[in-house]
Structure 1
């Protein structure tokens, strides 16, 4: 019978593993030695005399000690083998963790490469000449942001940047109409992610909207939550809806132009609000609006009626060189801080009926071209009408007591 292959024998020696044949031979040798030792002992001390029994007891004691020592050595060897096995297992686990981490890193790198490729491809589509390709790029970006929350602020900025791109209002033609549809889609995608919903699945938190200089069509952000929103120089074509929007941080509508009606009814401005050089060509509705911080409107123009009925103005309100070309209505408004109307503020008529002024109020060099009423208005501080006129004549509100206001420098 052929023996084991040389390679097998070499592998056994290299691995340090005893073969079954070697273990059997060693066991037989130990048994033979034990049998021989027993035969010698009985041959020498097996005569039954007292001296033989004493010698056998001594030998038995020595044998017990030897066996006990061997057992202890066996326990030590077993502990050593257990320690070695545990070290091998720990080494294997460490190697497994390293391999798993390497696999995870490889998967993460592959995912990141895929995301970057999708992102770059979608952004490239936004610059395509065909409107359907640009639409596909918008939807691809939206899907990518929805699946990867950390990309949402970046992609929101990309969508906003697309809307900030220069755009001239077209007269006619299919291509301009297609571009308008692309822009309406970008607006809708932004809006749907800035309005908190019950499940919060679509809402993108941590986004700061910047639509400075953008041309926006029928812009509706009702119920949105905006932080540090910037609409500086934006142009709103069609009605602009900000009904019940919550503005946090600094909100800027400087140099913005509202071509049609602007609706801010029920909105809340928790920070400062900037309306410098703003132009409202149609009605401006701020009914039931809560202005928590300072409200600044310098060189603004309200070319139609401005409605601030029931508005709650907690911070300083500052109108300077602002034109109200028709009616400025502040009926039932509540000024908790000082309102200032100064430096050539003009208005056709103004209504402050049932308005409460919780602090000082200043109407300096205001020109009222028609009637102005303060019926049932209440003042908790000083009110000044320095240089204020009604139809060119010095204005003295007939509804107020003389000790409530001053007329210094009245024209």
Structure 2
């Protein structure tokens, strides 16, 4: 804020106040001296009064002069500080401009030097960090052949291996400065990253703090880690390819997260990750083991048409809103033991190619398995299916276990069964519906099955299989 000059009227007021103080003080003291009875005393007191009045005026004037001197000193210091800041800003601008210009050099060594110069500027000038991060990200987004040739350069044209070192250096600066591990108390926090469409090798960012992170269509080669990192606003990984192991264990995403169409060629670890907003994995492909064990989805989550080629672990996960797994495909075991779905769960047309485990799983707001296919055994022992549970059109090609489960308003229409099924000690809240079952299990499997009270298997002459009938009603063919 600029310092306003002292108005003339204020100067005049201070001078006048000084004179008035002297005159008034002298007058009061002289008046007091006139009350004395002795003339010698009166004369002496008058002289003392005048001296005291003049001293008062001088003291007041000195105080005013001191204020003016202090103001001048403060103004001089402020001007000096402003000049030093301007010089520092000019120096930073000059260094920044020079470093950016050097990034366009055909000489890879010059470009490496410019990267380290930018790193130093960002470390010493916090207000420049986001701008410098944007430049580093832009360097990584450039194609390999985008470095311009400098006709005035003494060095020959760039060596591809040196160009790769430049890219790796830019990436390494980002990883080291954004990570808060190994006691790094000077990590760059609250940074936006736009690395969409880039190729990142051995990316490791642990316990960092980002605002927006854009990795759409990025190729991660080698191991990739975001362990313990907090992303405050949004994470975009649509169409991203992870060629090596990827871990997001212990991370937290406060804003929306999207992995639509992402591919994980190796194992993927999301264990313990907290999604505070909507999360999308629609169409994602996990070719090896994937784990969401203990993860928390505070808003809706979309796994529609996702593919898991190996084991998929959701044990202990918590879904606080709607969860959509429609048309997903699990080629390996799917583990949802002790998971909790607090919102509606849709598993429509899901293919479980191996075992499906839902033991002690809670579906608090209803679940739909309509037209799902269980090629392996399905375990729902001790599961709680509240509000509603639809198994209409489901194909049980192996064993199905509902022992000790509790099912509210369950419907089992057009079910196909080829293995053992057990409803032992299963509790139904509301009348369950069993209609038009087709049972192709052999006699041994049928004998081992345990049906709900009041239902039995009926075999008709000439039928290729069997059906489930109500003991108290007509056959449901």
How far residue 241 of structure 1 moved from its aligned partner, in angstroms, is: 1.6
Q: Retained in 1: the 8 A contact 2:181–2:206?
A: no
Could you say if the C-alpha distance between residues 75 and 265 of structure 1 is closer, same or farther in structure 2, counting changes exceeding 3 Å? closer
TM-score by length of 2: 0.64
Counterpart for residue 210 of structure 1: 194
Counterpart for residue 142 of structure 1: 119
Structure number with bigger Rg: 1
Counterpart check, 1:90 vs 2:72? no
How far residue 243 of structure 1 moved from its aligned partner, in angstroms, is: 2.5
Counterpart for residue 44 of structure 1: none
Q: Retained in 1: the 8 A contact 2:369–2:394?
A: no
Distance in 2 between the 1:265 and 1:68 partners?
91
SS at match of 2:266: coil
How far residue 142 of structure 1 moved from its aligned partner, in angstroms, is: 1.2
Counterpart check, 1:113 vs 2:84? no
Counterpart check, 1:330 vs 2:313? yes
Listed one character per residue, the Cα deviations across residues 17-55 of structure 1 (whole Å, up to 9, x for unaligned) are xxxxxxxxxxxxxxxxxxxxxxxxxxxxxxxxxxxxxxx
Listed one character per residue, the Cα deviations across residues 168-199 of structure 1 (whole Å, up to 9, x for unaligned) are 79xxx982222222222222211222223586
Could you say if the C-alpha distance between residues 106 and 409 of structure 1 is closer, same or farther in structure 2, counting changes exceeding 3 Å? farther
Structure 1 gaps, min length 5: 1-59
Counterpart for residue 399 of structure 1: 401
Give the structure with the higher percent helix: 1
Distance in 1 between the 2:57 and 2:314 partners?
92
How far residue 388 of structure 1 moved from its aligned partner, in angstroms, is: 1.8
Counterpart check, 1:284 vs 2:268? yes
Distance in 2 between the 1:77 and 1:262 partners?
86
**Structure-to-structure mapping, 1:10-409, within 5 angstroms:** 62=39, 64-167=41-144, 175-196=159-180, 201-324=185-308, 326-330=309-313, 332-337=315-320, 338-342=322-326, 344-352=327-335, 354-359=337-342, 360-368=344-352, 370-374=353-357, 376-381=359-364, 382-390=366-374, 394-396=394-396, 398-400=400-402, 403=407, 406=411
Q: Retained in 2: the 8 A contact 1:361–1:384?
A: yes
Q: Which has the higher contact order (CA 8 A, sep 6+)?
A: 1
Listed one character per residue, the Cα deviations across residues 62-91 of structure 1 (whole Å, up to 9, x for unaligned) are 455344323322332333333333333333
Distance in 2 between the 1:85 and 1:357 partners?
79
Could you say if the C-alpha distance between residues 237 and 379 of structure 1 is closer, same or farther in structure 2, counting changes exceeding 3 Å? same
Could you say if the C-alpha distance between residues 118 and 410 of structure 1 is closer, same or farther in structure 2, counting changes exceeding 3 Å? farther
Listed one character per residue, the Cα deviations across residues 296-353 of structure 1 (whole Å, up to 9, x for unaligned) are 11222223333334444444321112233x12412523233343211x3223234225
Which stretch has the larger CA shift, 91-100 or 136-145?
Answer: 91-100
Counterpart for residue 18 of structure 2: none
SS at match of 1:228: strand
TM-score by length of 1: 0.74
SS at match of 1:273: strand
Could you say if the C-alpha distance between residues 168 and 122 of structure 1 is closer, same or farther in structure 2, counting changes exceeding 3 Å? closer
Q: Retained in 2: the 8 A contact 1:387–1:407?
A: no
How far residue 272 of structure 1 moved from its aligned partner, in angstroms, is: 2.8
